[in-house]
């Protein structure tokens, strides 16, 4: 990269409406705006890391196995740890959910069958579909993004991002013997809290299914990389929201110019580092979330890295706020390479 190109890359500031698709304006500035000296108040960029040493491990007495970190306007970002099979079935009747497995492997049983899942998998669970982890081979750590809008696997551009025929899979009716003699608890997550319904049979058991399962899965490792030989290119969309509130994009390494410094006027951004060996900026721990609330200047990290990495991006019109649990693990972040501020 020439010095001239580096200079442009470092000083052009892009102001955008409607994320990647709206109108915008470019400015140049004499200063590197992502470098703030300090922040007084709560409206700030944060890094959230939830390694086993951080935050609360799931309380077995809790009826809801997920722990919200960020929430607002119908969108909730939670972590869900399953070090062992989860005894309760969860049914979220206010939101669709995307589960991203940061680590682990196991079997998820749902209202529409079961499938094996492992680190790197995105699992879509629509509103009012029950699910629970029935087998855990390696302790599971996942990030769950729940939205009021209906979510679907909907790559854009429609070709060249994800092979919908082979990469997107649906659960199968399991061949496990029916369990009887136990009490099965279903936790309804509803407006205002949770309510448990109890059965003396497993309500997730099914005998037949016709049509397409609304529970679906694909792996970040099956996302195809879009490269350009010159200039930059916007990240490809993976998951769409029919309300337009919350969108999911792939942010893995690729040949493309470094994105500009930019201000996203309409979307909070969540960058999730998924796996290496390369890093995204200074992010190199799987499951690390970099949260940039709307309007805060930030600089997209270099994507054309010496070693590959996987990451993904959530853009949401929701104005998120830290929960008490989120605040307990959030650390102030700079927005040049998403490292810890003063650290």
Letters for 29-48 (x = contact with Fe ion by CB under 5 A, - = none) are --------------------
For residues 257 and 269, which CB has a smaller minimum distance to Fe ion in the complex? 269
- Neighbour count for residue 289 (Cβ, 10 Å): 25
For residues 269 and 325, which CB has a smaller minimum distance to Fe ion in the complex? 269
Tokens representing residue 181 in the block:
């003699």
Tokens representing residue 219 in the block:
């792996």
Decide: is 269 part of the binding site for Fe ion (CB under 5 A): yes
Decide: is 241 part of the binding site for Fe ion (CB under 5 A): no
For residues 164 and 332, which CB has a smaller minimum distance to Fe ion in the complex? 332
For residues 141 and 269, which CB has a smaller minimum distance to Fe ion in the complex? 269
Three-state SS string across 29-71, please? CCCCCCCCCCCCCCCCCEEECCCCCCCCCCCCCCCCCEEEEEE
CB of 298 to Fe ion, least distance (A): 5
Count of residues touching Fe ion (by CB under 5 A): 1
Q: Which stretch binds Fe ion (CB under 5 A): 151-159, 194-202, 264-272, 317-325?
A: 264-272
Tokens representing residue 126 in the block:
């629509």
For residues 269 and 303, which CB has a smaller minimum distance to Fe ion in the complex? 269
Q: Which stretch binds Fe ion (CB under 5 A): 50-58, 65-73, 268-276, 335-343?
A: 268-276
Q: What are phi and psi of 153, to 5 degrees?
A: -70, 115
Whether cis (ω within 30° of 0) applies to the bond prior to 157 is yes
Three-state SS string across 158-199, please? CCCCCCCCCCCECCECCCCCCCEEEEEEEEEEECCEEEEEEE
For residues 111 and 269, which CB has a smaller minimum distance to Fe ion in the complex? 269
How many residues in the chain? Answer: 343
Q: Which stretch binds Fe ion (CB under 5 A): 25-33, 47-55, 181-189, 269-277?
A: 269-277
Decide: is 303 part of the binding site for Fe ion (CB under 5 A): no
Q: Which stretch binds Fe ion (CB under 5 A): 131-139, 140-148, 157-165, 263-271?
A: 263-271
Q: Which of residues 105-144 bind Fe ion (CB under 5 A)?
A: none
Contacts of 328 by beta carbon, 8 Å cutoff, 6+ apart: 55, 56
The footprint of Fe ion (CB under 5 A) covers: 269
């Amino acid at each position: 990269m020439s010095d001239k190109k580096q200079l442009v890359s470092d000083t052009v500031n892009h102001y955008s409406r409607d994320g990647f698709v709206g109108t915008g304006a470019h400015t140049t500035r004499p200063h590197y705006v992502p470098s703030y000296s300090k922040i007084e108040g709560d409206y700030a960029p944060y890094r959230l890391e939830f390694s086993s040493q951080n935050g609360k491990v799931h309380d077995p007495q809790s009826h809801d196995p997920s722990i919200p970190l960020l929430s607002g306007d119908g969108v909730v970002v939670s972590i869900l740890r399953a070090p062992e099979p989860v005894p309760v079935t969860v049914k979220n009747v206010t939101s669709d959910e995307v589960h991203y497995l940061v680590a682990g492997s196991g079997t998820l049983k749902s209202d529409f069958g079961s499938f094996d899942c492992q680190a790197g998998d995105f699992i879509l669970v629509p509103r009012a579909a029950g699910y629970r982890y029935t087998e855990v081979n390696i302790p599971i750590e996942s990030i769950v993004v729940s939205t009021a809008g209906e979510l679907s696997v909907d790559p854009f551009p429609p070709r060249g991002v994800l092979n919908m025929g082979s990469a997107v899979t649906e659960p199968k009716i399991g061949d496990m013997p029916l369990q009887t003699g136990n009490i099965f608890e279903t936790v309804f997550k509803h407006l205002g809290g949770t309510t448990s319904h109890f059965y003396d049979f497993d309500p997730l058991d099914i005998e037949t299914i016709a049509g397409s399962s609304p529970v679906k899965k694909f792996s970040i490792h099956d996302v195809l990389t879009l490269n350009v030989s010159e200039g930059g290119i916007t990240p490809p969309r993976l998951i769409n929201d029919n309300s337009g509130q919350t969108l999911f994009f792939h942010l893995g390494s690729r040949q493309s110019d470094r994105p500009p410094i930019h201000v996203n006027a309409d979307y909070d951004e969540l960058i999730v580092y998924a796996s290496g060996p390369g890093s995204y900026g200074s992010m190199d721990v799987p499951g690390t979330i970099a949260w940039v609330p709307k309007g805060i200047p930030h600089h997209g990290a270099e994507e054309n890295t010496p070693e590959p990495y996987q990451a993904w991006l959530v853009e949401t019109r929701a104005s998120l706020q830290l929960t008490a649990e989120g605040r307990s693990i959030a650390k102030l972040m700079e927005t040049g390479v998403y490292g810890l501020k003063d650290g």
